[in-house]
Amino acid sequence: MILYCVTVTVDAEIAKDWRDWMEDVHIPQVLDTGYFDAYTLARVLDPQDECEQITFEIHYRTGSVDRLKRYEDKAADALRTEHTERYNGRFKASRRVLQGL
């Protein structure tokens, strides 16, 4: 199992809108690509951010690095662009890939 982990820190004042949009629009679009089998969305509690920001992590599960690479090649750019246009200047994001043991 491969975990594609996306960490996103958003301004606290948009956190509810961001979370709602992620759950209702963005994450379903990512899953609809067919490259991921499931996901987990969580709010980071420790370490805590500054009071003006909230950090979330999304872990997308896929069966292979090859599927993840196909997602990156074929679908990721358009989905990231939509997110950036909606929340431009109000978030920071980072990504990492883990292998489940």
11: pLDDT strictly greater than 70: yes
- End-to-end CA gap in the chain: 8
Confidence band, pLDDT 50/70/90 cuts, at residue 49: low
69: pLDDT strictly greater than 90: yes
95 neighbors 5 (Cβ within 8 angstroms): yes
- The pTM of the full predicted model, rounded to 2 decimals, is 0.93
76-87 vs 65-74: helix axis angle to the nearest 10? 60
CA angle 64, 67, 72 (to 5 degrees): 130
For the residues 4-21, what does the mean pLDDT come to? 97
Average pLDDT value over all residues in the chain: 96
Measured CA distances, 27 to 23, 47, 52 (Å) = 6, 25, 24
What structural domains and CATH numbers belong to the chain?
Answer: 2-58+66-99 (3.30.70.100)
